[in-house]
Amino acid sequence: MKPAQNGIIYHGGTLPVPSRLQKGSLRLQGDRLLIRCPQEDPLYNLDLSIPLDRIIRAVARERKYYSSVAYLLIIDYLDDQDREIELELEIRSFIRRGRAQALSRYWAELLSKGQPVRSE
């Protein structure tokens, strides 16, 4: 199971973009991680291209809600001004909790560059 692309929901982070539970995609292309969450209002567009060598850590996290569970991928990276940025993305996998959990762990491991992966 080695996806090059996955559906996501952007939950939030330290970006100047408000969190709106934006649907989008996460894709690995060459030496970059692409995150795209297009919106009708351009103010809320999320279009990132992060060099893999700027990623500090990636963590898979489970968040329980009243009637469901979300499997999140938390990514910390350095932007162009060397500020640490955090992104919180939910891995989408309709009705397949086990698959969403496995995918979030896979992405965390892939982006951690072989470092031990924490699952919270």
Per-residue pLDDT band at 98 (split at 50, 70, 90): confident
Q: What is the pLDDT of residues 18-53, one digit of tens each?
A: 667 888 999 998 889 999 988 887 877 889 999 999
Per-residue pLDDT band at 2 (split at 50, 70, 90): low
Catalogue all structural domains in the chain, each as residue range(s) with its CATH number. Answer: 5-111 (2.30.29.30)
Per-residue pLDDT band at 1 (split at 50, 70, 90): very low
pLDDT higher than threshold 60 for residue 55? yes
Tokens 């809600």 correspond to 65
Which tokens hold the place of 114? 């072989």
